[in-house]
Amino acid sequence: MLLVQKFGGTSMGSLDRIANVASKVIQAREQGHQVVVVVSAMAGETDRLIHMAQAIQSDPDAREYAMLVSTGEQVSMALLAMTLLQRGVPARSYTGYQAGIHTSSAHKKARILNLDCQAIQKDLAAGCVPVIAGFQGVDKQGDITTLGRGGSDTSAVAVAAAIRAQECQIFTDVEGVYTTDPRVVPQARLLEKVTFEEMLEMASLGAKVLQIRAVEFAGKHNVPIRVLSSFKEGKGTLITFEENSGLEQAKVSGIAFNRNEAKITVRGIPDKPGIAASILSPISQANIEVDMIIQNVPVDGIIDFTFTVHRDDFLKTVEIVERVAKKLGAQEISKDNRIAKLSLVGVGMRSHAGIASTMFTALGMEGINIQLIATSEIKISVVVDEKYLELGVRTLHSAFHLDLDRQEAIEEFDPRPDRE
């Protein structure tokens, strides 16, 4: 198989850990695979660089910022290439521009436009391991760009797509994708397989295993991703297309959650065409992303309009909305940044009304009041008071029978490490 293996900052965090990464690469080669490696900066390094930049400019110049932080991967990739060479494996490291990763020029969030993989293809043909800097590229002007934090996953998937790799393996500090966060629900189960769509919902809803753009990219280019641990043996979780939908078979794969959102409601505005746009346009112009948008049927030609934004954007959003609401003749603005969002994720569940009612009943039984509801093809999300987050997740995890049963638990948590 032709594999792309991506190692994050924790996996590359020290010379010892880099040696461990080299072992993973060598192991894959010994199993007969061809390997291209994509790396992040050593853990802590990117933060060190950002702190220096921010000590100079509170909002560092975009071009210089990319110049600065891109050195993080350049260091780690050179160290890994040296480690492979020292162990007799031909290897060559590449910066984003050397690897031909062309991007847009967007401020700290460049998007990959196209890849020119000649150098990498040549290395592969020669039996050499290319080691590529994640998270960075080059724009039309020849300036270094960065993809934004976590962008290394996207780099890896883009490289995998460009060279038509059979699998893009993302090594992290977790063993794969779980039904929910094991720190909240100890019975959470490792999923063997999820679909891109499910993963997208899980990732965007706060299961911080993979960067959402990487999953989108992988889905779009049909690159199977495997999430697995740098530190423990195991097959991890394969993220791929839905193979057989099982038609009527609804399946809840997991429970995602986050407490990163804030809720704003504009009350008592006239129900006119374009009213939603007049509230949301100035917000998107300020580069603020809106997540949930809820508008109910009008009562006496008057509606309430509710939406959520990232908690970091809360104050800025309130400021904009207050200005706009005045013009629209709104009666009141209510706002709340102490909320949590819980989501059931699973293919084919929308058509099963039973799932939603099981969800609402289970939460109601625990006295958890639902503030907002939103649904999509593969998820049902509710917003609740932040204090109910853990209780809500545990309740849903158990209500949908996701808990690891006792027998499985014993097998899963075999105390002997590295069993053969």
Q: How far is the CB of 18 from a second copy (least distance, A)?
A: 8
Instruction: Specify the stretch interacting with a second copy by CB under 8 A; choose among 52-60, 374-382, 383-391, 392-400.
Output: 52-60
Token look-up 């204090």 returns 387
Residues 137-156 that bind a second copy (CB under 8 A): 142-144
89 binds a second copy (CB under 8 A): no
Residue 143 or 216 having the CB closest to a second copy: 143
**One symbol per residue from 111 to 140: x for binding a second copy (CB under 8 A), - otherwise; what is it?**
--------x---------------------
Applying CB under 8 A, among 63, 109, 149, 311 the residue interacting with a second copy is: 63
Distance of closest approach, residue 15 Cβ to a second copy, in angstroms: 6
Phi-psi region at 19: left, alpha or beta (left = phi > 0; alpha = psi -120 to 50): alpha
Residues 161-190 that bind a second copy (CB under 8 A): none
Question: Which of 26, 67, 250, 293: binder of a second copy (CB under 8 A)?
Answer: 67
- Based on the shown chain and the rule CB under 8 A, indicate whether residue 303 belongs to the binding site for a second copy: no
Strand bridging mode 237-240 / 101-103: unpaired
The yes or no reply on residue 40 touching a second copy (CB under 8 A) is no
Residue 95 or 381: which CB sits closer to a second copy?
A: 95
Calpha distance 337→248 (Å, rounded): 38
The answer to whether 98 contacts a second copy (rule: CB under 8 A) is yes
In order, the DSSP letters of 200-259 are HHHHHTT-TTS-HHHHHHHHHHT--EEEEESSS-S--EEEE--S---TT-----EEEEE-
Using rule CB under 8 A, residue 49 touches a second copy: yes
Which residues make Cβ contacts (< 8 Å) with residue 397, sequence separation at least 6? 179, 180, 185, 187, 188, 255, 403
Q: 109 vs 141, 223, 268, 382, CA distance in Å?
A: 16, 22, 37, 29
Give the DSSP per-residue string, 57-69: -SS--HHHHHHHH
Judged by CB under 8 A, which of 8, 9, 13, 60 binds a second copy?
Answer: 60
Taking Cα atoms as reference points, which of 130, 166, 129 lies closest to residue 3? 166
Give bridge partners of residue 388 from the DSSP assignment: none
Q: Does 15 bind a second copy (CB under 8 A)?
A: yes
What are the structure tokens assigned to 214, written together?
Answer: 């990487």
Task: For residue 74, state whether it binds a second copy (rule: CB under 8 A).
Answer: yes
Question: Which ranges of 366-401 would DSSP assign to H, the alpha helix?
Answer: 389-399
Stretch that binds a second copy, among 77-85, 372-380, 382-390, 410-418 (CB under 8 A): 77-85
Decide if residue 257 touches a second copy (CB under 8 A).
Answer: no
| Site map (CB under 8 A) of a second copy, residues 16-35, x = contact | --x-----------------
CA–CA distance, 79 with 90 (Å, rounded to integer): 14
57 part of the interface to a second copy, by CB under 8 A? yes
Is-contact 205 259, C-beta < 8 A? no
Q: What is the residue whose two structure tokens read 């890896």?
A: 156
Strand 290-295 versus strand 34-39 pairing type: unpaired
Position 294 contacts a second copy (CB under 8 A): no
CA distances from 225 to 208, 211, 238, 297 (A): 15, 12, 6, 42
Determine which residue in the list 2, 26, 29, 64 makes contact with a second copy, applying CB under 8 A: 64
Q: Is 110 in the site for a second copy (CB under 8 A)?
A: no
Residue among 37 and 202 whose Cβ is closer to a second copy: 37
Distances (CA, A) of 180 to 6, 131, 342, 343: 23, 33, 11, 10
Q: How far is the CB of 85 from a second copy (least distance, A)?
A: 5
The length of the chain is 420
Contact call for residue 370 and a second copy (CB under 8 A):
no
Question: CB neighbours of 347 closer than 8 A, spacing ≥ 6?
Answer: 195, 197, 198, 242, 245, 251, 253, 378
Shortest reach from residue 106's CB to a second copy, in Å: 18
Q: Which range in 49-57, 147-155, 160-168, 338-346 contacts a second copy by CB under 8 A?
A: 49-57
Closer CB to a second copy, residue 147 or residue 200?
Answer: 147
Residue 56 vs 410, nearer CB to a second copy: 56
Smallest separation (angstroms) from a second copy to the CB of 256? 37
Residues forming the site for a second copy (CB under 8 A):
15, 18, 49, 52-53, 55-57, 60-61, 63-65, 67-68, 70-71, 74-75, 77-79, 81-83, 85-86, 92-93, 95, 98, 119, 142-144
